[in-house]
Amino acid sequence: MTFDLDARLAGPLQDPAGEAGYGPHPPRMGFFTDTSVCIGCKACEVACKEWNAVPEDGLQLTGMSHDNTGGLGASTWRHVAFVEQTAPPPVDLGMPSVPQGADEGEREMRWLMASDVCKHCTHAACLDVCPTGTLFRTEFGTVVAQEDICNGCGYCVPACPYGVIDIRPGDGRAWKCTLCYDRLGAGQEPACAKACPTDSIQYGPLDELRERADARLAELHDRGVAQARLYGRDPADGVGGDGAFFLLLDRPEVYGLPPDPVVTTRDLPAMWKRAALTAAGVVAAVVAAFVGGRR
Amino acid sequence: MSPREKTRVPAATVEAAPDFASYYGRPILKQPTWKVPDVPLYLFSGGLAGASAVLAELAARTGRPSLSRVARLGAAGGAVAGAGLLVHDLGRPARFLHMLRMLKPTSPLSVGTWILSPFSALGVAAAASAVTGIAPPLGRVAGLGAAALGGPMTTYTAVLLSNTAIPAWHEARREMPIVFAGSALAAAGGLGMLGAPIREIGPAVRLGVLGAAVELTATAVLERRLGFIGEHYRRGRAGVWMRAARASSAAGILGALLGRRHRPVAVAAGAALLAGSAATRFGVFEAGRASAADPRDVIVRQRARDERRQAASPAPGAAETSEPRMGRASARLPGRGAGEGAEGTSAELSVLSSSPTDDDGGGTAKGGRHAATASGVDPPRAADPARGRPRCGRRVRQHPARGGIAP
């Protein structure tokens, strides 16, 4: 394998685990979350918490529909978003919906529900910037944080373009979805996928999931759901494609996802170059300050 | 609707619709957990230390022992204080040595650790030797080593901030090293003016003036080039810091130019340069925090980029191009009130009456009605809550699990 710095930091990369140095290893595993069949039951949130022993993340009512966890965080590794739109769905998917408004024939509310999770990026900024080696690439191509290494420097937090990983208050370390690394090792599927009653969360080899997602998207487009789109599926996107990708029924930002995320380390070589040049400039400036005095 | 329910359902608040969609107005990114003042103070002390180490070395070699000593103390003090601040900022300070488990070029924090650690050791050795007079040759070698790391000390922190997803930092990646270098030079010059006798401060004055001028110019360029993201450097807490920095640095430049022969003026000017440098760091840091908290920075920029790309190569079946501009939402606001007012009861009732058979029957009945939208006409976005601000108190008594699914 040839060493290619650019492929290391951004762009399409077929095999992140191999690139990370694994010899023979299992295929890259991931999630395909088909939000068109999500019913917002939050079984994934509960299963995740139960299996991973994730502590309580606050018991408050946000006023954001049925969403009372708000977003992903150190103690929320699966998060179900609830979007209420007063717009007719183009085609009935059997989604829960009720007619409303003065003229019921014209107004209808549609629900968008989506279970969000760490994207396990091909080029993971959190992993790239972690100075301690806490975050690492597993043999399954996923990104996992080791709690016995993390010293809570917090660099991964603003580095993540999706705002997933966070420091747990009172604990001081960074936490996020591990894609149930322990279960994967035992040949089991992650707890959230296991618990999902509608197969909205599908787990499997990423190549297979991508084929399945393409077929589902084509099916939805055939049925007239022109708004359906895949998010994080494209290996040529700013993070090299996501290990956990989605089928959405509206623009990503409606679900709280960035429309076009880019791994920050894509620009790192240029930044280092500029910093090195400027550092040389600092020395030159000090020299100039002394030379100027000798005149 | 009963009067009681009417009061329960909030009236639609007609406000200027944001020009972007978001999830209840929540930020996309996480706030940095780095603490204030720990981290911005380190940015300042690290820069001061780095530039001072270079200044100390040249002062020593040009026969300015007092300036050299002040600068050596500045380098050692800044580095030690900075290391202390960084350890204090950790979530698990007892694990600070974990930073030395690896050297990772993709992590500016890792690279910075390997710059700061030897720099601190060498800087302290050089300062100790200069103050105590013990082992001058070793002190000179240590001083040279610290000076060699001094340049990187002043600029690696710029990469540290820019190498994040926060738009106000990442998009400023071109100017940030120059801002930080100027800020560091101004601080080192300021410290020299503050601590060294008049006859030796010539280089410190020139350095302080040059550094502050670079700092002011680069900051102005940064703010302008960033467009609407640059607003975060002008507003709120960051704006206060940046204005204070400008005033202080400008006063420092003026004082340094006018009063370099008068010790009290030189001291005051030096202090002003130091204060300006520190204020710049706090301002930059606060601007990043504000930017992370603002979903607009992420969404509007990325949306525009995404649309440009889609226009260049439309994906098969993509509905993106036929979508109306989001700004249109505001024109439809009147309709939103009607929808909201009625939803409380009708939603409840129809859920109560809905049954599993509803799904089949409803599906076919809706088919015709939805044909218009299927052909690419976008649904109206008027009352789309996801496109507005968070609207608390909105309640639809409907259990989502009641609906059926069509896998």
Tell me the per-residue pLDDT of B234-244, one tens digit each, with 9 for 90 and over: 999 999 999 99
What is the helix (H) or strand (E) element at residue A175, kind and residue range?
Answer: strand A174-175
Least CA distance to B155: which residue of chain A? A275
Q: Considering only CA atoms, which of B30, B36, B114 is closest in space to residue B284?
A: B36
* Residues in contact with A216: Cβ distance below 8 Å, sequence separation at least 6, in sequence order: A34, A36, A247
Among positive and negative, which fits the CA dihedral B55, B56, B59, B60? Answer: negative
Where is pLDDT greater, at B333 or A4? A4
Q: How far from each other are the two terminal CA atoms of chain B, in whole angstroms?
A: 36
Among positive and negative, which fits the CA dihedral B300, B306, B309, B315? Answer: negative
Interface check for A84 against chain B (CB to CB < 8 A): the answer is yes
Least CA distance to A113: which residue of chain B? B400
Among positive and negative, which fits the CA dihedral B280, B274, B75, B90? Answer: negative
Q: In this predicted structure, what is the pLDDT of residue B312?
A: 80
Dist. CA B134–CA B345, nearest whole Å: 86
Residues comprising chain A, all counted: 295
Sort A20 into a burial class: Cβ within 10 Å, 0-12 / 13-18 / 19+. middle
Where is pLDDT greater, at B312 or A35? A35
Dist. CA B124–CA B142, nearest whole Å: 9
* Residues in contact with B383: Cβ distance below 8 Å, sequence separation at least 6, in sequence order: A85, A86, B12, B332, B335, B336, B339, B340
Residues of chain B numbered 242-261 and touching chain A (CB < 8 Å): none
- Whether residue B350 and residue A98 make contact (CB cut-off 8 A), yes or no, is yes
Give the range among A208-212, A252-256, B270-274, B307-311 with minimum mean pLDDT: B307-311
The answer to whether A34 and A199 are in contact (CB under 8 A) is: yes
Given A67, A271, A281, which is nearest B162 (Cβ)?
A271
Encoded tokens for B195: 């601590």
Interface check for A23 against chain B (CB to CB < 8 A): the answer is no
Q: How many CB atoms lie within 10 A of CB B317?
A: 14
At position B293, the amino acid (one-letter code) is A
What is the nearest CA distance from B128 to chain A, expressed in angstroms? Answer: 23
Where is pLDDT greater, at B385 or A154? A154
Cis peptide before B37 (omega within 30 of 0): yes
Q: Considering only CA atoms, which of A227, A90, A287 is closest in space to residue B320?
A: A227
What is the helix (H) or strand (E) element at residue A115, kind and residue range?
Answer: strand A109-117
Encoded tokens for A14: 């077929």
Q: How far is CA A209 from CA A120, A186, A244, B71, in A?
A: 14, 20, 10, 61
Q: How confident is the model at residue A5 (pLDDT cuts 50, 70, 90)?
A: low
Given B110, B174, B302, which is nearest A274 (Cβ)?
B174
Q: Does the pLDDT value for residue A47 go beyond 70?
A: yes
Dist. CA B237–CA B287, nearest whole Å: 8
Interface check for A40 against chain B (CB to CB < 8 A): the answer is yes
Q: In this predicted structure, what is the pLDDT of residue B319?
A: 40
- Whether residue B338 and residue A158 make contact (CB cut-off 8 A), yes or no, is no
What is the nearest CA distance from A256 to chain B, expressed in angstroms? Answer: 5
Given A86, A128, A259, which is nearest B384 (Cβ)?
A86
Among positive and negative, which fits the CA dihedral A252, A256, A257, A260? Answer: positive
The answer to whether B286 and B34 are in contact (CB under 8 A) is: no
Q: In this predicted structure, what is the pLDDT of residue A9?
A: 87
Dist. CA B326–CA B19, nearest whole Å: 6
Residues of chain A numbered 86-115 and touching chain B (CB < 8 Å): 86-102, 104-105, 107, 109-113
> In B, which residues are within 8 Å of A225 by CB distance?
374
Dist. CA A16–CA A128, nearest whole Å: 13
Interface check for A14 against chain B (CB to CB < 8 A): the answer is no
Residue with tokens 């806490």: A134
Q: In this predicted structure, what is the pLDDT of residue A93?
A: 60
The one-character DSSP state at A188 is: P
Q: How many CB atoms lie within 10 A of CB B215?
A: 28
Least CA distance to A134: which residue of chain B? B98
Residue with tokens 């007063």: A86
Residues of chain B numbered 41-80 and touching chain A (CB < 8 Å): 50-51, 54-55, 58-59, 62
Interface check for A188 against chain B (CB to CB < 8 A): the answer is no
Residue with tokens 């409803």: B362
Q: In this predicted structure, what is the pLDDT of residue B259?
A: 84
Encoded tokens for B235: 């507003």
> In B, which residues are within 8 Å of A90 by CB distance?
370, 373-374, 379
Q: In this predicted structure, what is the pLDDT of residue A95?
A: 61
Dist. CA A98–CA B397, nearest whole Å: 11
| Model confidence pLDDT, tens digit, residues A158-174 | 999 999 999 999 999 99
Mean pLDDT, chain B cut into blocks of 10 residues (407 residues total): 43 57 95 96 98 97 95 98 96 95 96 97 97 94 97 97 97 97 98 95 96 98 96 96 98 93 95 98 98 95 88 55 34 32 33 33 33 34 38 36 34
What is the nearest CA distance from A143 to chain B, expressed in angstroms? Answer: 16
Residue with tokens 């069949």: A37
The answer to whether B24 and A82 are in contact (CB under 8 A) is: no
φ, ψ of residue A73 in degrees (nearest 5): -170, -170
Least CA distance to B392: which residue of chain A? A63
Least CA distance to B205: which residue of chain A? A289
- Domains, chain B, ordered by start: 27-300 (1.20.1630.10)
What is the nearest CA distance from A171 to chain B, expressed in angstroms? Answer: 7
Q: How confident is the model at residue A90 (pLDDT cuts 50, 70, 90)?
A: low
Model's pTM, two decimal places? 0.82
The answer to whether A91 and B401 are in contact (CB under 8 A) is: no
Strand A244-248 and strand A29-34: the pairing is parallel
Instruction: Report the residue of A33, A44, A79, A98 to disrupt the B interface, i.e. the one with the largest count of B CBs within 10 Å.
Output: A98
Instruction: Report the residue of A83, A199, A278, A295 to disrupt the B interface, i.e. the one with the largest count of B CBs within 10 Å.
Output: A278
Least CA distance to B362: which residue of chain A? A92
Encoded tokens for B259: 């009063």
Least CA distance to A153: which residue of chain B? B90
The one-character DSSP state at A65 is: T
Dist. CA B164–CA B216, nearest whole Å: 24
Among positive and negative, which fits the CA dihedral B85, B86, B89, B90? Answer: negative
Least CA distance to B164: which residue of chain A? A159
Q: What angle do CA B68, B72, B73 make, to 5 degrees?
A: 120
The answer to whether A149 and A132 are in contact (CB under 8 A) is: yes
Q: Does the pLDDT value for residue A88 go beyond 60?
A: no
- Whether residue B292 and residue A158 make contact (CB cut-off 8 A), yes or no, is yes
Q: In this predicted structure, what is the pLDDT of residue A58?
A: 85
Q: How far is CA A130 from CA A61, A149, B91, B95, B105, in A?
A: 34, 11, 14, 14, 10
Given A39, A65, A98, which is nearest B405 (Cβ)?
A39
Interface check for A16 against chain B (CB to CB < 8 A): the answer is no
Given A71, A276, A286, which is nearest B58 (Cβ)?
A286
